């Protein structure tokens, strides 16, 4: 599944269901603005998804439509998750995929926090020629 950046928010996407507690997850962090939980297909020893509680399709949608409080709240939640996981000194990577070319699969804005090992600098999959 790829995400249509022009589509309206799909209230039945998996992250919306998680926010409504229809699908159980291990909650790593939660506040008024964000929810964080482990990725089901981790790409690093630590791989956490951090999602805003508002209905936003992508980073572009969030940046254009979210309130200042929601934007600040998500940024603070990311920082708190990293601190709670003891990553402030060793470091971590944040990734947010927006649209089909970036590989966004769920039509709810989310940030991947990856850590727990030295991470590769490669970001683009090379295809055979």
Active site amino acids: 110
- Separation of alpha carbons 48 and 45, rounded Å: 10
Tally of CA atoms within 13 A in the half-sphere of 127 that contains its CB:
1
- Separation of alpha carbons 23 and 17, rounded Å: 6
Question: To 5 degrees, how large is the angle CA 75–CA 48–CA 20?
Answer: 80
């Amino acid at each position: 599944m790829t995400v249509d950046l022009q589509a309206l928010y799909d209230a039945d996407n998996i992250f919306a269901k998680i926010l409504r507690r229809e699908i159980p997850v291990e909650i790593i962090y939660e506040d008024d603005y964000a929810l964080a939980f482990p990725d089901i297909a981790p790409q690093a020893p630590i791989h956490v998804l951090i999602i805003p509680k508002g209905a936003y399709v992508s980073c572009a949608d969030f940046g254009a439509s979210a309130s200042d409080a929601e934007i600040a709240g998500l940024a603070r939640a990311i920082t708190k998750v990293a601190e709670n996981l003891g990553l402030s000194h060793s470091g971590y990577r944040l990734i947010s995929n927006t649209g089909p070319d970036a590989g966004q699969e769920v039509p709810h804005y989310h940030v991947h926090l990856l850590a727990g090992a030295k991470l590769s600098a490669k970001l683009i999959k090379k295809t055979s020629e």
